[in-house]
Amino acid sequence: MKKLLTLLFLSALFSCGAGSSDSEELTDFPFSFTRDTVQVDPGDHLVFISNYMSSAAVSPDQKTLYNLNTKAPELEIIDLETLAYQESIPLEKEGPEGIGTFVSDFAVSEGGDFIFQGYRSFVKANAALDQYEIFKFDAQHLKGDSLAEKEGVDFGSIPSLDGNFLFATYSVQEFGGAAKGLAIVDLRTKELQKIPIPELESLTDFNINQFDEKGNPRMSTIERIWLLQVGDKVYLTNTSRNEAFIYDLQADSLQKKTFHSLLTSDSKKGLYTKTTNSDKEMSDAWAEKNREVNFNNLVYDDKNKKFWRVSTEMDRMIADSVVNKKVLTIFDQDLNQLHEQQIDFNLSQSLAFFKNGTLYTFINLEDELGFVRIKPTYE
């Protein structure tokens, strides 16, 4: 058995405004943090991290990490209290108890149900993994609000916390098709509710579309819409603009919030080639796009009632290399902006979560599972 390795580093206190003189102008919000790195004890097992933990989920009580090895397939159980691998549960890809052939997203509900998602694939299993249900989200399988011609429910959805609903965007299902709004599907009744959000349609303005010599579509770099449920609210944010849409499930109401940063741009500018049939132009445009601001997903700290988000934007060039700055923004539980500052650590878009007020973000430690832990202080 490998012993649990704890790498303590940079445990000095980082004060409010560290890394940026501008942050002192924003607020007197008291904030500091300490940091360390830990490695999960794998025992004699090789924990599956080849997909950067993109198919992992934390249990609602924050005591267990479920990591889906999509190649085996099997479900790895990791104890977050002891930071040690426990066991693996074998799964099937096909058949009546199959999780799907190409699973890319995985979640666990408050009731212990497991949800396996892939492109055009959605399977829900009970906690015992002995009952499976397959769902289809096209017009012929849904009741309630009707999907217009060419409309469909998008890939990249999330299940509700209780596992009874699906939250997704819906869009025009064609190359370069625009997102139209929020889709909510009751998994028990198969009823669809559509909440139009017209502002999402203009996100296509930031796409890069590549066509072949005959004008046939080849690929598109689309802007991501992030979804998160906290309590009775669903939050939609995107990679292009410094904004959020909040849908209140109880009040059936939609609110938009627009934020302002002193440290990054508030929107992509789109100063790159948008349409091309050249591989080189596509690559160059992608490189230019990556220099512009990018807003990552919200992560919620349920102990301190705060949202965290990291955004990136080009800071400077060193020879031919781009150096991006990373900016942490902190919001209160009503998504009011409290603080922002430049940081020097990364926040994994695949696996980052709060446990007892400490942020855990995935890191590859010589092909072993590890976490950088950020412990904040608000005083």
Query: pTM of this prediction?
Result: 0.91
pLDDT digits (tens, 9 = 90+) for 70-124: 999 999 999 999 999 999 999 999 999 999 999 999 999 999 999 999 988 999 9
Question: Distances from the Cα of 51 to the Cαs of 39, 153, 364, 369, in angstroms?
Answer: 18, 25, 11, 12
pLDDT band at 356 (very low <50, low <70, confident <90, very high): very high
Residue 25: pLDDT over 50: no
Residue 309: pLDDT over 50: yes
Cα–Cα distance, 261 to 274 (Å, whole number): 26
Terminal CA-CA length for the chain = 41
pLDDT digits (tens, 9 = 90+) for 225-277: 999 999 999 999 999 999 999 999 999 999 999 999 999 999 999 999 999 99
The conformational region for residue 202 under phi > 0 = left, psi -120 to 50 = alpha, else beta, is alpha
pLDDT band at 27 (very low <50, low <70, confident <90, very high): low
pLDDT digits (tens, 9 = 90+) for 200-217: 999 999 999 999 999 999
Q: What is the pLDDT of residue 320?
A: 86
Q: Could you tell me the two tokens for 366?
A: 């010589």
Residue 4: pLDDT over 50: no
